[in-house]
Structure 1
């Protein structure tokens, strides 16, 4: 795999060198290259005796084996009164010992073997991963399975993890970027589990038994998918996995709670957080799309043109032409189970806050008014198609990608058809998608900084709700006009 990527990079570099030698200075906007041909390496799909799907990709370049288990769980399934439960459960599964092995002994044994086992739970997926030298795989697999299926949740480690969460809550208003990221997400997902954040009350309400119950509810072999890559013997590996996960369960897995999609409520809002800083943090956006939206390929092209590259419209105007910011970008984050977001962001000096906001809104609105240029369309499609191969730079990434597609119910052939679907996007497709999905008049606008230094009042963008950053996380301040 590594040799394939290096060879492709060599061909691209060689092509650039020839172009420079032939014509002196090369203009990257007008250079052309032969089409890169890249076939996605296949991973074998097998099903264990317990019914668990496993994706296998053997690679003997290094004597290492990697495994990732993907589990159907997530913070969207935790009670709002105990926000943070999923994250703490995912952390203490590994840190709190498992299978009767104390946390300290597990740490020592893994370190001695140069192995790693990690666990975590996000919004809609739980993961447990393993990295091991081939010679130590059997023992590391046992620890991995214990963490995955038989965690002990040491009370001492539960208390430590809770204290870390609470300390993080105490500090979370220290970072203006952290504030803006949290608040834009809460605003877009208001009223939905994706918009819930932990509070001191919810953190203190979580008990060890809550973690035990949450784990027991979701972590079953028939609710998981494995991705395995590296230096293994296929027959021996499958024997080990079947022995580790056993026979099919005698009871059906509990149905996941029915979590509705976020409400598509496109109403503008201006949210201000006062921080005595010279640099204003700006976030704006609204609800986006899911992976099943037919406009997803046109929006990938739009992303590149609007705010996803160094030649994007946002970057060229706000950074290059106006000098208002070092970084500015935007992106549709296509939701896999739940509707995702569109967010544009930048940081600028306090005295140019209003100008930066107005420019961003105007540039984004411009995408809905007229088609992109032929040059923009060509550059975007070529970049997306030619960079596609970099998503498959290691056996682990290939196997994991395949497993993730099944985990999230992507249609068959999604990867194989991706480049052709991008290649078929037209200027008209981009314009139509922009008009359907970009709503700058309905942005949630989050601004964190010192309003006394702003070049124009935030109230000029709409009624302002000011955050009380001295309150506990999870509470909201009142509405105030900022002048």
Structure 2
């Protein structure tokens, strides 16, 4: 998540940069002046931990509370470790559905429609969801309705009904969404790339109609019992409410919750090895959708902070990125393009994505890769690096605008394995990144001989690539060209398997 900082200090600093660089040209000592400029450090921004109170119930539930009386509102979220990554092949999709249906399927004494109505009357809200690595159930209420809404929240967490009609509604909507995948070329390209990069591993599995039809209410109940328990859960409450009221409500609703030890297996290694190549999926779209990628690195690798800087310089820095300036602004090949290294668990992925006119498909691919190759060969200037570090700083400090966001961020970072002092040392570590490290990451983590390039487009896009491969540029020499199909997921020919 990237946010903007007020511009006064940043603009003032940029004025100083411009003046100093202009003087350096006049005096004929630009290199020395640029080095001096970077050595001059801005006033450090210190991120102090919020003085929240915390306690633990006997069943293991961790509670974190901070009173914030700015508005007559109370917010709460409970976080659980575990998600879709821990499913077997036969359970594919169950965790996601279970997470959504905890709220949508009614809870405790409230059938779905009644729960919807009661929350609407109170101008309150409850939401639930599970992703790949963790789940969350949250609530919002007026301060005067805290106890009443908190009881409903506890019902959603502990006693979801998983109403059969709501489950069937979700299944019909999911089936329709899957049926329409092929109508969105960027969705087709993204799914195809994921399958080509990760195969049938936990990162490459794609939900299809047969998986949706197989999901039952009993499967949701079993998944809920496995993942939703107090053993590794953290409850965060922030708002205009007294500590004693919070403590009594938590004790009443959660103290008798059965304690169970977490049972999380180690995530399996990704052993799948992608086959490099250009994969063409013919569809009658006027524009070509392109995804270029490779397998990536684990989250929190030794290159963690350099990757953040690389991304901002290369392709995630919007209008200022090298990729956007070259492919969009200078060449006019696309309205938008982005590229980044995306660390993850057990590994991540690297990607460049864009849409272009069918006739310019090959040119857009080659020019995008030239930007990457140039960054591999030529470190960013000190001025570019300084600009990017300022942008990262401006984004980072806005993650701490309000107490609720700060506490929830702290809990999520812990769930995902980040060190306790991550936020306190973040800007210092970003500031220590050097130009040569950026180019080193570009070389080591983007192997230009192992690219998986997916193109979704019409005959003109196909012909553009075929023509280019008759006399390929150095950057794409040796790449094979495959044709593939797509219905609910990728269909490969025997040649490309």
Structure 1 pair 306–17 and aligned structure 2 pair: CA distance change class (3 A):
closer
User: What CA RMSD, in Å, does the superposition of the two structures yield over aligned residues?
Assistant: 2.9
**Aligned-pair CA distance for 1:191:** 2.8
**Aligned-pair CA distance for 1:9:** 2.0
Which residue matches 1:117? 126
Pairing 1:389–2:402 present: no
Pairing 1:416–2:398 present: no
Which residue matches 2:216? 207
Structure 1 pair 184–450 and aligned structure 2 pair: CA distance change class (3 A):
same
Distance 1:287 1:14 in 2: 38
Distance 2:175 2:336 in 1: 31
Residues 389-468 of structure 1 mapped to structure 2, 5 A cutoff: 389-453=397-461, 454-457=463-466, 460=469, 462-468=479-485
Which residue matches 2:305? 297
**Aligned-pair CA distance for 1:162:** 1.1
Which residue matches 2:194? 185
Residues 130-141 of structure 1 mapped to structure 2, 5 A cutoff: 130-141=139-150
Distance 2:413 2:359 in 1: 46
CA contact (8 A) 2:358 2:464 kept: yes
Pairing 1:476–2:484 present: no
CA contact (8 A) 1:288 1:334 kept: yes
Which residue matches 1:79? 88
Distance 1:159 1:351 in 2: 44
Distance 1:398 1:450 in 2: 47
Pairing 1:91–2:88 present: no
Pairing 1:51–2:60 present: yes
Q: CA-to-partner distance for each residue in 1:206-243, whole Å, 9 max, x for gaps? A: 11111111111111011322222222212321221122
TM-score scaled by structure 2? 0.87
CA contact (8 A) 2:53 2:66 kept: no
CA contact (8 A) 1:48 1:242 kept: no
CA contact (8 A) 2:79 2:134 kept: yes
Distance 1:10 1:431 in 2: 29
Deviation larger for 221-230 or 275-284 = 221-230
Q: CA-to-partner distance for each residue in 1:156-196, whole Å, 9 max, x for gaps? A: 11111111111111111111111112222222222311211
Distance 1:134 1:199 in 2: 43
TM-score scaled by structure 1? 0.89
CA contact (8 A) 2:191 2:489 kept: no
Pairing 1:380–2:377 present: no
Structure 1 pair 424–130 and aligned structure 2 pair: CA distance change class (3 A):
same
Count of aligned pairs = 467
Q: Out of 229, 242, 252, which is 2:251 matched to?
A: 242
Distance 1:374 1:97 in 2: 56
CA contact (8 A) 1:225 1:407 kept: no
Which residue matches 2:9? 12
Structure 1 pair 100–467 and aligned structure 2 pair: CA distance change class (3 A):
farther
Which residue matches 1:176? 185
**Aligned-pair CA distance for 1:421:** 0.2
Q: Secondary structure at the match of 2:332?
A: coil
Q: Secondary structure at the match of 2:392?
A: helix
Which residue matches 2:343? 334
Q: Out of 329, 343, 351, which is 2:351 matched to?
A: 343
Pairing 1:357–2:377 present: no
**Aligned-pair CA distance for 1:324:** 0.6
| Structure 1: gaps of 5 or more residues | 24-28
Which residue matches 2:25? none
Distance 2:250 2:458 in 1: 57
Distance 2:361 2:160 in 1: 49
**Aligned-pair CA distance for 1:450:** 1.0
CA contact (8 A) 2:372 2:442 kept: no
**Aligned-pair CA distance for 1:76:** 1.8
CA contact (8 A) 1:368 1:435 kept: yes
**Aligned-pair CA distance for 1:455:** 2.6
Which residue matches 2:284? 276
| Structure 2: gaps of 5 or more residues | 21-33, 470-475
Deviation larger for 189-198 or 459-468 = 459-468
CA contact (8 A) 1:87 1:120 kept: yes
Distance 1:43 1:474 in 2: 49
Structure 1 pair 246–269 and aligned structure 2 pair: CA distance change class (3 A):
farther
CA contact (8 A) 2:82 2:133 kept: yes
